[in-house]
Amino acid sequence: LLSGRESIDSSNMEDDVSLKFRQQLLLIDENLVAEDVAALKFLCTDLLPFKKLEGVKSAVDIFQLLMAEEYLNEEDTFLLAELLYRIKCHSLLKKLGYTQDKVQECLHEKGRVSLYRQMLYELSENITSEMLKEIIFLLQDCLPKQRITLSALELLILLEKQGLLTENNVQVLEEVCMTVSPDLLETVNCYKGAKDVLSIDPLNMTMLSHTEGLFLSMKQYLKHKRCCIVAKLLFTTSTSIGYIFINIYAVFSLDNKAANLTQGFSEMNKMASYKMDGPHRGFCLVINNVKFGRSLLERKGSHKDAEELEQVFTWLGLDVRTYTDLTSQQIKDLMQTWQHVQDHKDRDCFICCILSHGESGAIYGKDEELVSIRMIMSHFTAEQCPQLAEKPKLFFIQACQGKEIQRPVYVEADARIPDLPSTQQSISPSESIPAEADFLLGMATIDGCVSFRHIQQGAWYIQALCSKLQLLVPRGEDILSILTEVNDDVGRRVDRWGTKKQMPQPSYTLRRKFIFPIPRDPPPS
């Protein structure tokens, strides 16, 4: 009798786990739009029967197919986590118990999406509507005669169905990309180079054995200066293999000039990029205002943001200084102090991050007095701070730029409580930037709107910024590309009720690309 009860209890527990798992899948499905479902469907093309995929109408349909093929169950959700990671739905990873870092760490062991499929998906993401029209025109003899509207993904699938495009034959892509866009062609060449590198046993790579043979296999790509492009794609497949590739190149460089390989991936960016090879990277200030006077609430969770900023910018080579709970006058005094620091002349850049409550064009000191963002930035113009003349100066502001309307329980807004009047006029981010070159202002939200912060996990904007820097700096991406990814990440997030959204807004007067040199160490966890 006891054994029977135990059996029933065990069965009930299994049913509960299965029910919760399916509930999580439904939550994920509810947060995916049609474009996301199309992307998931495309990335699963090599894993699931094509005829069954043709009938897919929703993400739930895909989940059912993955479970039927034993790719997905309550004990192993990594494939779904990988798929969400590939389509940049990073905020949904936590529903499966994953983070971006955890997925990236496991990709080289558990990843199932092929390099070929990744390349095609990346290609589709970079094909504009005008490019698509040109490509369809070039391939019209290969396409059905009846007029149909095709997306980039649908076009690629059609080429595969007709046998014109395969993992080992991408000639049709090379030909059309050569005509339409050299950048698209680079993606295809990137795939071909990375494919040859990965044809070497990855286990041998990770053990760093037979290094001379590996070097000879890479030689053609290094000779053609394609090392950095290949490494960029390798990072999307396996961070560890990407780093190994870089280190091997540094040891066996053909021209014996590899000492500074990690200064950047692409030679074509050198002339258009800010100089970032000085003896010191630069200073990074983090001002973290958490506790205020009577009217403004404590900014719970902000310490997590400050800690992550310190870790990430230290990893990027900056000398980070953190200040907590400064009054408006102390903020002004601090800016004047750093304005006159002579050591700026030996640094490549200057970065300042401010976490506080705010209004349009301003942030609050702990005394609840406003400080103009423009005034803060104006301390570092070429006239006021000649040591930083012609050097990039980056400011990241986590603060509301307007009034909150409703305050949820677990997500708070970095703004005044609703019944406090504001005398601050609306000021756009572009008006906050000094009228001269070499500035970037990254705002957590557009003017007039609130920005959100989880009281345990930190601010949406800062968490996305830190995550994207760790993910994309090793791939050689410039800061504006990274901030575009931050916009995408934050723009996909919603509060727990699904009613609050946020969109960051970068403004800049940069004259060149700002590319962080790739750190030798892996990103902080």
**In 224-364, which ranges are continuous DSSP H helix?**
227-237, 239-252, 302-315, 328-339
Structural contact between residues 274 and 389, judged by C-beta atoms closer than 8 angstroms = no
The secondary structure of 109-120 as a DSSP string is HH--S-HHHHHH
Closest CA to 91 of 491, 415, 414: 491
3-state secondary structure labels for all residues of 444-494: CCCCCCCCEEECCCEEHHHHHHHHHHHHHHHHCCCHHHHHHHHHHHHHHCC
| Three-state DSSP class for residue 389 | coil
Active site annotation includes 340: no
Candidates 400, 449, 454, 466; catalytic one = 400
**What are the Cα distances from residue 317, in Å, to 283, 313, 443, 486, 517?**
9, 6, 23, 21, 9
The residue from 90, 344, 357, 379 that is catalytic is 357
Q: How far apart are CA 182 and CA 207, in angstroms?
A: 36
Residue 400 annotated to the active site: yes
Specify whether the CB–CB gap between 288 and 270 falls below 8 A.
Answer: no
Identify residue 73 by its one-letter amino acid code: N
8 Å CB contact between 428 and 360 = no
- Collect all residues with Cβ–Cβ distance below 8 Å to 318 and sequence separation of at least 6: 281, 282, 283, 284, 351
| Centroid of chain to Cα 351 | 19
Quote helix, strand, coil % in the chain, to nearest 5.
Answer: 50, 10, 40
Residue 48: exposure state from Cβ atoms within 10 A (0-12, 13-18, ≥19): middle
Residue 498 to residue 509: CA distance in whole angstroms: 35
Q: Which three-class secondary structure string do you get for 14-71?
A: HHHHHHHHHHHHHHHHHCCCHHHHHHHHHHCCCCCCHHHHHCCCCHHHHHHHHHHCCC
**3-state SS class at 341:** coil
Q: With beta carbons less than 8 A apart as the criterion, state whether 451 and 459 touch.
A: yes
Catalytic residues: 357, 400
